[in-house]
Amino acid sequence: MAKTDIGPPNFRTLIPKVVEKNYGQWKYHEYVKPGVLKHVAESGDALYSIRCGSPKLVSTDFIRDLCDIADKYCEGHLRFTSRYNPEFLTTKKENIEPIIKAINKLGLPVGGTGKVISNMIHTQGWIHCHSAATDASGLVKAIMDEMYPYFIGEKTLPHKLKLSLACCINMCGAIHATDLAVVGVHTHIPNVDDQKLGALCEIPTTLASCPTGAIRRHPDKDVKSVTVNADKCMYCGNCYTVCPAMPIASPEHDGVAIYAGGKCANARSAPKFSRLIIPYIPNNPPRWPEVTGVLKKIVETYAEDGRPYERVGEWIDRIGWEKFFDLTGLPFTEYHIDDFKYARTTYRTTTQFKW
Ligand code: SF4
Ligand code: SF4
């Protein structure tokens, strides 16, 4: 690694000694109990990981509390998984229970390993991002409260299930390849503020920001503003990122769409993109009962009907989409039909139907 004064330090200086010693030579892992895995190296060394659930947006005090546990039991080492699960690593079996006790004392659940649901990844939501069509932290809290038995291992699934949420179609939350995903959607064109637009925005940049060419100069040359062709607008919100005089968020029209069946793993079958299963559910804060209800129904149906080690997408592939809509009781509408110009490649083009 180049020696410069910028960028992160070499990660090898940050990992536990046992991980460095056995780097690339970990042989297998065992499921000890919910949230606890035992990793065994070729050399016979063992490392225990204890995983817990956590919110994504946290305070420095919260991080300090986690660091105190890591200092006391893990020689100062603490890691976060790609789904923001804090994970404590220890070589001492006798440290497992004290770590779990300390985690529980912070009010955090231990779990998320094995055939369960781990932390839900999400984006910024109303707390931080200007484009949000739905909240992130609030909606994720409501969803994970429903999924709690599946996190702590009280209930299990055919295989692991990953949940994610992106609060607009910019999709910082990588919802395109998870088992079940929620994405915020705007359903109304931006509201152009003719008074402010001239002072706040550059017209050429604003016109260029629209991927569908829906924005045109205002027909009155004396008005320094733009108009939006509603038939061409796909409610992406890109123009608002460029021009703050075109807000698109709307308490009446914003909501979420739900996707299913994606995965990144190469195991058994190729990685898959998630597919649309519900085009629109209006926002209903603070607990979004319609969204949590439908996700719970899908998870329960998968728990009942999925075969061991089948991910959600593999389960749907086996039973067919018709049966999926049938079993989950979700309506199939014209909005499910992909009308993008390259959609044909995604269509089923044989006469074989699975019933
Ligand atoms: Fe902002 Fe959209 Fe990313 Fe959410 S998904 S943080 S609204 S850009
Ligand atoms: Fe164009 Fe998207 Fe703005 Fe609609 S929301 S006008 S499609 S940039």
CA of 237 to the centre of ligand 2 (A): 5
Site of tokens 């108009």 = 227
**Which tops the pLDDT comparison, 171 or 48?**
48
Ligand 1 atom, smallest distance to 133 CA: 7
Question: Taking CB atoms and a 6 Å cutoff, what residues make up the pocket around ligand 2?
Answer: 189-190, 209-210, 212, 214-215, 228, 233-239, 248
- Short-list 131, 157, 59, 48, CA closest to 94: 48
Considering only CA atoms, which residue is closest to atom 4 of ligand 1?
167
Q: For 304-353, how does the pLDDT look when each residue is reduced to its tens digit (9 = 90+)? A: 999 999 999 999 999 999 999 999 999 999 888 888 888 888 787 888 76
Considering only CA atoms, which residue is closest to atom 7 of ligand 1?
132
Considering only CA atoms, which residue is closest to atom 1 of ligand 2?
210
CA of 176 to the centre of ligand 1 (A): 14
Q: Does domain 11-105 have CATH number 3.30.70.3340?
A: yes
pLDDT at 287 over 80: yes
> What pLDDT is recorded for position 351?
81
DSSP 92-117: -GGGHHHHHHHHHHTTPPB---SSSB
Considering only CA atoms, which residue is closest to atom 2 of ligand 2?
236
Nearest ligand, measured from the Cα of 134: 1
Query: Would the CATH topology of 11-105 be identical to that of 194-242?
Result: yes
Quote the pTM value. Answer: 0.92
Which band of pLDDT confidence, cut at 50, 70 and 90, is reported for residue 53? very high
Ligand 2 atom, smallest distance to 232 CA: 7
Q: For 235-255, how does the pLDDT look when each residue is reduced to its tens digit (9 = 90+)? A: 999 999 999 999 999 999 999
**Which tops the pLDDT comparison, 205 or 4?**
205
CA contacts within 13 A on the Cβ side of 50: 26
Estimate the share of the chain in helix, then strand, then coil, as percent rounded to the nearest 5: 30, 20, 50
Looking at CATH, the fold of the domain delimited by 194-242 is given as Alpha-Beta Plaits (3.30.70)
Ligand 2 atom, smallest distance to 238 CA: 8
- Short-list 84, 63, 67, 250, CA closest to 163: 84
**Which tops the pLDDT comparison, 328 or 130?**
328
Q: What is the DSSP letter of 219?
A: S
**Which tops the pLDDT comparison, 344 or 257?**
257
Burial class (CB in 10 A: 0-12, 13-18, 19+), 276: middle
pLDDT at 201 over 60: yes
Distance in angstroms (rounded) separating the CA atoms of residues 322 and 271: 21
Q: For 66-120, how does the pLDDT look when each residue is reduced to its tens digit (9 = 90+)? A: 999 999 999 999 999 989 899 999 999 999 999 999 999 999 999 999 999 999 9
Ligand 1 atom, smallest distance to 183 CA: 5
> What pLDDT is recorded for position 52?
97
For the chain, give every domain's residue range: 11-105, 125-186+251-346, 194-242
Q: Which CATH superfamily is domain 125-186+251-346 in?
A: Sulfite Reductase Hemoprotein, domain 1 (3.30.413.10)
Report the residue among 129, 140, 165, 240 best suited for mutation to probe ligand 1: largest number of ligand atoms under 8 A from its CB: 129
CA of 331 to the centre of ligand 2 (A): 28
Q: How far is CA 193 from CA 64, 149, 187, in A?
A: 45, 48, 18
Considering only CA atoms, which residue is closest to atom 2 of ligand 1?
168
Q: How far is CA 103 from CA 39, 89, 116, in A?
A: 21, 13, 19
CA of 233 to the centre of ligand 2 (A): 5
Q: What would the two tokens of residue 119 be? A: 């932390």
CA of 336 to the centre of ligand 2 (A): 21
- Short-list 327, 352, 325, CA closest to 336: 325
**Which tops the pLDDT comparison, 144 or 175?**
144
Considering only CA atoms, which residue is closest to atom 1 of ligand 1?
129
